[in-house]
Chains A and B, each alone.
Chain A
């Protein structure tokens, strides 16, 4: 009996292992906060700041989430252009992870707020949304 069991066990285990590996790589989420945690944080922090108070920050980075074509027509001095569709790109990771205050600006408030939520859930700190 033993001889027939070994291949069977190997088949079952390998099918299972295959499933595990597939799902492991398919959707591993980098979101660090749960839905309830982000709700709490979003409620308790006041992340929206007025245009006039921009000067209160020391060496802020102004991040403009609009598409490049709008950015090129007109943008604020020293602003960095990171289109919303590219904010998860690796090249910006260092920027978001740095300690400097990061001020987010977008075409409309909805997009800026969403970007704040997403970046906060990824564990980045010192993010603010500029009120238009």
Chain B
């Protein structure tokens, strides 16, 4: 398979090469947290809003639905909010911000030698199972993020920074539930 060969080739040139230190250790979490906090603060200072991610994915979905069937989208109470008066949902702040996340993540990965095509999973489960679980988890999270008006970055992190009640509630709901059900999914991870 050519895709597979390309993947192996990319892995060969990119992996185990840190252009700075030669190691691929992660940053000290507190230091990374401070940087993330400063980025968040800068975002508040410049734009008056926090960071987000799921909003950009919603823009992608709305655009797709709108292209496939404009009538359907315009009639739906959910989609019509984002396409009223000829607005382009892709022309939103979060879409550009998420494009930046892609670039930033890639830069960081390249600098620390972590660019590698791989699937991460516990040794007891298969790759296929992991991918299926990822899709299922993504679908649940995507659904939940629309229900809760934001994901961990948009609602919990940015919300907590502005001390908003919604932010704290969402954060507790996400992490609390995850702790409660963690036991049933332990095979996936450990």
Direct contact of A and B (CB under 8 A): yes
Binding site for B on A (CB under 8 A): 1, 3-5, 8-9, 12-13, 15-16, 19
Q: Are A1's CB and B23's CB within 8 A?
A: yes
Shortest beta-carbon distance from B106 to chain A in Å? 16
Q: A9-B31, A19-B45 are in contact. Are A1 and B38 (CB under 8 A)?
A: no
Q: B19: nearest residue on chain A (CB-CB)?
A: A4
Which residues on B sit within 8 Å (CB–CB) of A16?
A: 38, 41-42, 45
B186 CB, nearest partner CB in chain A, Å:
31
Interface size class of B (residues with CB under 8 A): 10 to 19
The residues of B that contact A12 with a CB separation of less than 8 Å are 35, 38-39, 42
Contact status A5-B21, CB under 8 Å: no
Of all chain B residues, which has the CB nearest A8?
Answer: B35
Q: Is B27 an interface residue (CB 8 A)?
A: yes
Shortest beta-carbon distance from A73 to chain B in Å: 52
- Residue of chain A at shortest CB distance from B112: A1
- Name the A residues within 8 Å of B27 (CB-CB): 1, 5
Residues of B within 8 A of A4 (CB): 20-21, 111
Contact status B31-A3, CB under 8 Å? no
What's the minimum C-beta distance from A4 to chain B, rounded to whole angstroms? 5
Residue of B nearest to A12 (CB): B38
8 closest A-B pairs (Cβ-Cβ)? A4-B20, A1-B21, A12-B38, A1-B25, A1-B27, A5-B31, A5-B27, A16-B42
Q: Determine whether the beta carbon of B38 is less than 8 Å from that of A13.
A: yes
For B23, list chain A residues within 8 Å (CB).
1
A13 proximity list for chain B (CB < 8 A)? 38
> Complex: how many Å from CA A9 to CA B33?
12
Residues on A with C-beta less than 8 A from B21 are 1, 3-4
Which residue from chain A places its CB closest to the CB of B34 in the assembled complex? Answer: A9
Chain B contacts for A9, CB-based, 8 A: 31, 34-35
List 8 other contacts, CB 8 Å, given A1-B21, A4-B20, A12-B39.
Answer: A1-B20, A3-B21, A12-B35, A12-B38, A12-B42, A13-B38, A16-B42, A16-B45
Give min CB distance, A9 to chain B, whole Å: 7
In B24-68, which residues have CB < 8 Å from any A CB?
A: 25-27, 31, 34-35, 38-39, 41-42, 45
User: Can you list 15 A-B contacts with CB-CB less than 8 angstroms, sorted by A residue number?
Assistant: A1-B20, A1-B21, A1-B23, A1-B25, A1-B26, A1-B27, A1-B112, A9-B31, A12-B35, A12-B38, A12-B39, A12-B42, A13-B38, A16-B42, A16-B45
- Give bound CA distance, A55 to B152, whole Å: 70
A47 vs B21: C-alpha distance in the bound complex, in angstroms? 73
Which residues from chain A contact B34 at a C-beta distance below 8 Å?
9
Bound together, the chains give a CA A19 to CA B111 distance in angstroms of 28
